[in-house]
Amino acid sequence: MSRGIRNLTVSVPTDELAADLGGLPDGVELVVWPMDEPAPRERFDLVVPPYMSMTRVLERLEGIEVGLVQSQSIGYDGVADILPAGLTFANAASVHETSTAELAVGLAIASQRRIDDFARDTAAGRWSPQFADSLADRRVLLLGYGGVGKAVAARLLPFEVELTAVARRARVEDGMPVHGVDELPGLLGAAEIVIVTLPGGDDTRHIVDDALLSGLPDGALVVNVGRGPLVDTDALVDHVRRGRIRAALDVTDPEPLPEGHPLWGLPGVLIAPHVGGASSAMRPRIARLVRTQIERLSRGEAPLNVVLGG
């Protein structure tokens, strides 16, 4: 590829992201396009779709010449089915891992130390001390050792947990022994907390099923910050209702969780509304990634994080 500077046309969905990008290489035309109406250009070198509604608007790229679609999310399950043919798609690896890991550890602490109970007591003006379970000294099974999993591990270790990591294949990575998923059944009986960070998709759908939940000891906590369909919701509801398992979920299946769903109000369940990456850390990090992609494209270099096409 040529190493010379190229003129680029770049679409971003908001004025805020446009402002966050700051100074860009000469020759970059920046267009704010929320993708809520037809494309204002017939060609873009880079398109950044809106964050939460990307899958509903990708069809607007049909018939438009696009060099790269840069998602603002890490996950991309299902995107291949709706991305117009021939387009290259990059995910937002490096943007959300730290925030999602913060929430995973926060959900684990909140559930262990009964902070959700204290929040209800605060609203009711009630002083009701409890002796709770610690995070320290717990045996934690980390299911998934990609970017988010590694960020969770880095934050868990200072809490003095006994950490066991599981991923698709066994390996030692950065000094961490990682078990293969085929070893999972033999690891469940010792796990007091399971934190799920896997990506979605057919290969991982319902990996947390009745068999996995049945293999955990009574009182175990399941934390899911990956994707909702990783967990068989019916099986989870059954185990929680029987007092066997507790759950802290940033993602659910279905999602959003409808009014009246049995997970709402179920004792032992704490739910966050899919906000793992929704923190103040996102804006500067997505801007840094988009700016890096623009600079690479302007130099004729391959973009980062390509997961589809290309």
Rounded to whole angstroms, the Cα distance separating 127 from 105 reads: 26
Q: What does the pLDDT average to over 43-50?
A: 98
Q: Mean pLDDT for the chain?
A: 96
pLDDT greater than 70 at residue 3 = no
The one-letter amino acid at 200: G
CA distance readout (Å), 222 to 149, 189, 215: 15, 13, 12
Q: What does the pLDDT average to over 183-209?
A: 97
Instruction: Note the pLDDT tens digit of each residue in 19-41.
Output: 999 989 899 999 999 999 999 99
CA distance readout (Å), 246 to 56, 62, 138, 152, 268: 33, 44, 15, 19, 5
Q: What is the pLDDT of residue 5?
A: 59
Q: Are 13 and 33 in contact (CB under 8 A)?
A: yes
Question: Which one-letter DSSP state was computed for residue 92?
Answer: -
**Helices in 216-299 by DSSP H: which ranges?**
233-241, 282-298
For 78, half-sphere exposure in the C-beta direction (CA atoms, 13 angstrom radius) is 10
Q: Are 277 and 94 in contact (CB under 8 A)?
A: no
pTM as predicted: 0.92
Q: What does the pLDDT average to over 153-166?
A: 97
Instruction: Note the pLDDT tens digit of each residue in 145-155.
Output: 999 999 999 99
- Banded model confidence at residue 99, pLDDT cuts 50, 70, 90: very high
Which residue's structure tokens are 């396009």?
Answer: 33
Rounded to whole angstroms, the Cα distance separating 97 from 177 reads: 21
pLDDT greater than 80 at residue 198 = yes
